[in-house]
Amino acid sequence: MSKLLEGVRVLDLTNVLAGPFCCHQLVHMGAEVIKVEVPGRGDLARQLGADTELNDRNMGVSFLAQNAGKKSITVNLKSDKGRELFKSLVETCDVLVENFRPGVMKRLGVGYDELKRIRPELIYCAISGFGQDGPWVHRPAYDQIIQGASGVMSVTGNGESGPLRVGYPVADTAGGMTAAFAIAAALNSRPRGVLLDVSMLESVLATMGWAVSNHLIAGVAPRSHGNENMTSAPSGAFQAQDGLINIAANKDQQWQLLAQHLGLDELLTMPKFATREDRKTNRMDLKRRLETVLATRPARAWAKELNRIGVPAGAVLTVPEVLNMPQVADRGFLTWFEDVPGTERDIELVSTGIKLDGKAPTAATPPPMLGQDNEQIWAELGYSSQDVRRLTQDGVL
């Protein structure tokens, strides 16, 4: 399989999700990713996840989720020798990714200006909650904070339930994907060498283009609409016999096919449903009328029929349900690792949403134990196994 980033070496100094998710994309594209962790404890995600036994082993599910294929080394950047070792390693790398609070790397003596001096071609990517400057630059930021600050929570849920957070770390994920895209673009530049300032807040706002533009251009403040798609009607989630079904009859032809298939032809002659704007205005009345028929049969049965006649539809699935669907299970999206060191069990992990020449890119190795690649990586810089043991005893590694 083509490895698009083969030969690219990345230093991953990140923790928890936004940065690790960025480097997760890069490793699947063929980059060599070296995870640089704090001696003794490593990435905080190693202690996070729903399996407490794995947390205790320093191999928590939250860590396993986006660190396959990476190597792990440890180095104490607060020690003089540790900084010396780290700088020597930077000289061999193309990319560095960090998600410390702005200013931390500089205070440690390994900020962008210092590293650029020793490696002018370095692509330095700093991921932070709010960016490297501005009034909020020193605010601590986690996904929950960014979801609230960005307006995401204000448009999630409905009038009764909202504001609500999105049910997975969407801000971390958007920030990580934005960083991966920026790095891939920077790798194409000649000569190389740039500081990438990735703001999670701005990354999320960028994904909200439609909602933000309705405010900027049309003067309509975004608000929560529950499961309704406010750009059209009928478009949203409807109650079927056994659960919800999403239907997106966004075109007039689709609306007509839907009404006819449900045996509700009379709706097509009602003035209040005549145009898209009419249907949007009267969407809740229309929804109730459609559900009188939809509630008589299972969601998946309706979805199969509606898709066949050209009306986009799909049952609302749980995560276990969709992972078992052939559409996902048969396309190589999940990667299986047997007897993973540090976990003493087999694990299955997600890859990416990309296929390269029809094949899913995979990570060659499972997520690493803390510091498992110390001897290999430091040996490349001339340090023997004995040196590594001594440096470890001295608290440098």
Nearest-angstrom CA–CA distance, 15 and 37: 9
Nearest-angstrom CA–CA distance, 20 and 17: 5
Nearest-angstrom CA–CA distance, 140 and 142: 7
Which DSSP string corresponds to 14-39?
A: --TTHHHHHHHHHHHTT-EEEEEE-T
Q: What is the pLDDT of residues 366-394, one digit of tens each?
A: 999 999 999 999 999 999 999 999 999 99
Check residue 159 and give its pLDDT: 83
Same domain, 29 and 53: yes
Same domain, 295 and 335: no
In-domain check, residue 139: yes
Identify the domain boundary among 292, 316, 340: 316
Same domain, 353 and 309: no
Same domain, 273 and 338: no
Select which of 172, 242, 357, 394 is catalytic. 172
In-domain check, residue 149: yes
Kindly tell me if the per-residue pLDDT of 116 is higher than 90.
Answer: yes
In-domain check, residue 225: no
In-domain check, residue 226: no
- For position 118, which CATH number holds? 3.40.50.10540
Same domain, 195 and 283: no
Which DSSP string corresponds to 42-81?
A: --GGGG-SS-HHHHHTT--HHHHTT-TT-EEEE--TTSHH
What domain range is 385 assigned to? 9-207+330-393
Identify the domain boundary among 286, 316, 346: 316
Q: How many domains does the chain have?
A: 2
Sorting pLDDT into bands at 50, 70 and 90, what band is 162?
confident
Same domain, 281 and 374: no
Same domain, 18 and 152: yes
In-domain check, residue 38: yes
Query: Is 172 a residue of the active site?
Result: yes
Same domain, 108 and 165: yes
Q: What is the pLDDT of residues 209-257, one digit of tens each?
A: 999 999 999 999 999 999 999 899 999 999 999 999 999 999 999 999 9
Mean pLDDT of 82-108: 97
- For position 245, which CATH number holds? 3.30.1540.10
Same domain, 272 and 350: no
